Amino acid sequence: MTKPVRTRLPTVTRKELRPDGTDNEFRTMIHNLISVSHRLQANRSSHARMLGMSGVQYTILTGIAHLQGASGAPVKNIARHLHMSPSFVTMEIGKMVGLGVIRKRQDPIDRRRVQVMLSARGWNLLDKIVPIQQPVNDKLFDRLSKDDFTAFSRIVAVIADNCDEAKAVLDYLKHTRR
């Protein structure tokens, strides 16, 4: 007599996440996301080491470059964009001012707020890494069409926004199980 094969209970309940009635495709997608995340973190850490900073500092530096415009960016905007806490970003920015890669200035409209922007040294460091970044990023997204990239970018933004709510659900469920 053959013993029945034990299968795992589904890890999702939404029909949209179980196109064939199982969560196999969902699990594969999560495993792929974890793999991508690890590789992106490794790339980020490698770029950061080449510039003499931590991976988080490199992420904040590129975030500021993206958001600063002509007059700088408020810390809360940078934190929101990077899905980090404002207090953590503030702490790291303090270190980065010490590295000479970021400048801070008082907001001319609301003098309680601080605007941050890259220094000339910060821009030079980012420019220095571009010859390495371009071929790596091009290869990373090599087989995506313009439409694929647009859809993927939109979907990742939705998932990133959902992460905080999912974490709150996780924390609540862990707390109620005690």
> For residue 70, is pLDDT > 80?
yes
> For residue 6, is pLDDT > 90?
no
- Mean pLDDT within 73-84: 92
User: What pLDDT sits at residue 63?
Assistant: 96
pLDDT digits 0-9 by tens, 35-60:
999 999 999 999 999 999 999 999 99
User: What pLDDT sits at residue 145?
Assistant: 97
> For residue 107, is pLDDT > 80?
no
Angle, CA 175 vertex, CA 174 and CA 178 arms, to 5°: 90
Percent over 90 (pLDDT), the chain: 80
User: What pLDDT sits at residue 47?
Assistant: 95
Query: Which structure tokens are listed for 31?
Result: 């495993």
Global pTM reads 0.83
93 phi/psi in degrees, rounded to 5: -60, -40
- Mean pLDDT within 67-71: 90
pLDDT digits 0-9 by tens, 118-145:
999 999 999 999 999 999 999 999 999 9
With CA atoms as reference, report the closest residue to 102 among 51, 41, 137: 51
Residues 12/30, Cβ–Cβ less than 8 Å:
no
Longest distance between any two alpha carbons in the chain, whole Å: 80
> For residue 161, is pLDDT > 80?
yes
SS3 percent helix, strand, coil of the chain, rounded to 5, is: 65, 5, 25
